[in-house]
Structure 1
């Protein structure tokens, strides 16, 4: 099995890249989330963490910017009737932190708003993965903290990371926001 590939980005399009390896003698075609493609430049040296899927029609490689994103992809495709194309679309729309929070908090509406997911698939994903991605019981406070900190101009993904690393026990919302501000 292939774990990752490191090489020069030879080609890119909407959700696909070609990574050139072995002194420009082999190009590996990899499907990746759209949002990452936009950040890449042809000619850059990149490292892509791979997931290999073998089907009757052939072998497909799916690529990710880090191992955590690949792990979440594997979790998503473990859900019955949810395939790799849907999983890639989800990860193009949401960061890993956003996805785990949405699933852990049971926010079907937000997940269903992603193209190709819909209400039934969102319900199925949440049913199968919710326990794995539990969020703090104070979900309303979490959402308020995210809103306050992003309104102050902080990037949503950074806010999510900081809030996940805060111990919420015995703290009111104001204390959590103050601690987050100190870490941002």
Structure 2
């Protein structure tokens, strides 16, 4: 396994780069996210993943280790290969994709070109627990959500609102204002409901 390449950047396109290491030029496939982070400097370091198939050896490169780890998780899902995983990381930043997986946000995942409903659901089902454990994420974002938002949801339920309807509103409020108190969440939710 080739863990990383450090060398001279010879060529850079939105889909791949060529790095010269000790006289050998390596073609490395990259996402648009990595492309945006690569400076046009002489020296470069990219973390890599070598995918070996019967008909090809493909080298994928990542500026950040986080992106490489997420790529490995994505290709472990049935029906997602290297190019699809790279495409997913091109449309959504690694952190946003992790958050979508952790919070069961199938719409965000499905909004990626080439990803249908079933594939998006499979990604969430297969990776949600892994992403939450690996990156310390809890379901629906933070521990603040689990305390303040949960109390606000209970209070809104007592006031006669249906829990399903209030969950979306409260989640949106907590995403925009993570430090909101229970009272603030309830007031903002009442304005939206």
> Match of 1:59?
57
The equivalent of 2:173 in structure 1 is 144
Cα separation, partners in 2 of 1:55 and 1:136, compared to 1, 3 Å: closer
What is the aligned-residue RMSD (CA, Å)?
2.5
1:3 aligns with 3
1:1-184 correspondence to structure 2 within 5 Å: 1-22=1-22, 25-134=23-132, 135-137=138-140, 138=145, 143-147=172-176, 172=182
User: Does the aligned pair in 1 maintain the 2:10–2:19 contact within 8 Å?
Assistant: yes
TM-aligned CA deviation for residue 146 of structure 1 = 4.0
- Gaps (5+ residues) in structure 1? 149-162, 176-184
Q: Is the CA contact 2:30–2:61 (under 8 Å) kept in the aligned structure 1?
A: yes
Report how many aligned residue pairs link the two structures. Answer: 154
Structure 2 stretches lacking a partner, 5+ long: 133-137, 146-166, 186-193
Distance in 2 (CA, whole Å) between partners of 1:54 and 1:74 is 13
Q: Distance in 1 between matches of 2:183 and 2:112?
A: 30
- Describe the superposition over 1:118-171 as per-residue Cα deviations: whole angstroms up to 9, x where unpaired: 2111011011011223434538556434435xxxxxxxxxxxxxx7xx9x9xx6
Say which structure is richer in helix. Answer: 2
Q: Secondary structure at the match of 2:80?
A: coil
TM-score, normalised via structure 1 length: 0.73
